[in-house]
Structure 1
Amino acid sequence: MSNYENKLGIKAWAEADRPREKLLQQGRRQLTDAELIAILIGSGNKNETAVDLSKRILSSCQNDLDKLSQLGVKELSRFKGIGEAKAISIVAALELGRRRNGTGAPEIQKILSSIDAFRIIKADLADLPHEEFWLLLLNRANVMIGKHFMSKGGQAGTVIDPKMVFKIAIEHGAASMVLVHNHPSGNLKPSNADVDITTKLVELGKLMEISIFDHIIVCNHNFLSMADEGYL
């Protein structure tokens, strides 16, 4: 008898070992990460159950959900048994989890330090494989009055139009703002281009009477404040 014929599918397992049944009987918190992913993908391949396949996917990411969330549909589809539809389900579920981490903040958000700005923006930039540039607009009391996506680029950079930056700030009556972008490379050090554009925007801000409070560089769950580091 072949290995395939000897392999038991999820339906042949004891009911307590099936992820869906286990969730119903014991609650969602009793499931492992692999079992939760197995529910998302529904089935494995001819040589692996959904749970086995999920374990292999997690193992490729050192069982780190943050690393898994960085995989796109193409990367996930390379695993035998994961087609485009299953890959999309995984990506969508992880994105919901990421968004949930970014909710629950109070309606009035003051930015008095670099960590305040990072906490507000980190969910928007964590795990991105490309660079994005955002603005956090503040009133005179340092209360955030807007969070605006400005541009998207590749892995090495994104284009920033100073005219559009101040157009958005003026339209929303901002007194100051925090510039934010991410480095997918994981290197927090500001590039020469980062320093140049920051200097240019600071100088323009003086003319427009809209101050640049900080420029935050985000790398997944870490950040660098150009103000704290003396670049501003």
Structure 2
Amino acid sequence: MSQCIKELSLDDRPREKLMQQGAAGLSNSELLAILIRTGTQKRSALRIAEELTASSGLYQNIACVHSVAELAKVKGLGPAKAATILAALELGKRIAAAGSQVKLKIESPQKGAEILLPRLRYEQHEKFLVLLLDSKNQVIRMEQVSEGSVNSSVVHPREVFAPALLYHAAAILVAHNHPSGDPKPSQEDKELTRSLNETGIIMGIPLIDHLVIGDGIFFSFREQGYLDK
């Protein structure tokens, strides 16, 4: 039987430790244990959290989960705890993306990736997003225009430029993820980028970049010279 959190010293209890040291001083498992709150007779909340975060499990077992029912299958978690965890994860993603949008001007591929990596990195299906930019390349809005299967997301230029027209964007940056974690672009990615670039020139809404998001890394069509051809 694992040790109950109440049996730990005050300095080792996740909630008390957070109050003393701040959230940054806690491990992934300790932060997750606070959300789980209580465990079972055989497994404490901290033990459940440790198992979920072992060997990068935080990312493999939690960040990729999209439904309460799926996460609630973990022993020691029920629908209520699963919902709490998913809500916290979604808030984290939104804060990471929204904070960057407020502070960042898209001056480089890296700046765009800072906004889009938190949103796309752990998605299990391909999603295609467009960042709408003003005349100073500042983000007006983020729109998802397509969601596909594990390996593909079908996108048409009209779907990409429709929100750009609606919100009077001066330029756009588009991005999609590769669930495999490898951001190397496919031939379809290259053809789509060429089509979007040509459409943007005709419409007067230039495509400043197309980012392919992998597992912590990304590919920039602009950086690799594809949009200069």
Task: State the TM-score, normalized to the length of structure 2.
Answer: 0.82
Q: Which residue of 2 aligns with 1:226?
A: 221
Q: Which one has a bigger Cα radius of gyration?
A: 1
- Tell me the CA shift for residue 223 of structure 1: 0.9
1:171 to 166, 169, 173: 166
1:69 to 55, 63, 68: 63
Deviates more, 1:199-208 or 1:221-230: 199-208
Q: Which residue of 1 aligns with 2:34?
A: 39
Cα shift readout 1:174-193 (whole Å, capped 9, x = no counterpart): 33222211111112111122
Cα shift readout 1:187-231 (whole Å, capped 9, x = no counterpart): 211112212222222222232232222111111421101122233
Distance 2:101 2:197 in 1: 29
Against the structure 1 CA distance between its residues 109 and 14, is the aligned structure 2 distance closer, same or farther, given a 3 Å change threshold?
A: closer
Give unmatched runs, 5+ long, in structure 1. none
Against the structure 1 CA distance between its residues 74 and 179, is the aligned structure 2 distance closer, same or farther, given a 3 Å change threshold?
A: same
Against the structure 1 CA distance between its residues 184 and 170, is the aligned structure 2 distance closer, same or farther, given a 3 Å change threshold?
A: same
Higher-helix-fraction structure: 2
Secondary structure (helix, strand or coil) at the match of 2:116 reads helix
- Tell me the CA shift for residue 162 of structure 1: 1.8
Q: Is the contact made by 1:108 and 1:144 (CA closer than 8 Å) also made in structure 2?
A: no
* Pair 1:51-2:42 in alignment: no
Q: Which residue of 2 aligns with 1:188?
A: 183
Q: Which residue of 1 aligns with 2:154?
A: 159
Report % sequence identity: 38
Q: Which residue of 1 aligns with 2:203?
A: 208
* Pair 1:82-2:63 in alignment: no
1:96-107 pair list within 5 angstroms: 96-105=91-100, 107=102
Instruction: Work out the number of aligned pairs and report it.
Output: 225
Secondary structure (helix, strand or coil) at the match of 1:96 reads helix
Task: State the TM-score, normalized to the length of structure 1.
Answer: 0.81
Distance 2:21 2:221 in 1: 48
Against the structure 1 CA distance between its residues 36 and 156, is the aligned structure 2 distance closer, same or farther, given a 3 Å change threshold?
A: same
- Tell me the CA shift for residue 30 of structure 1: 4.4
Q: Which residue of 2 aligns with 1:111?
A: 106
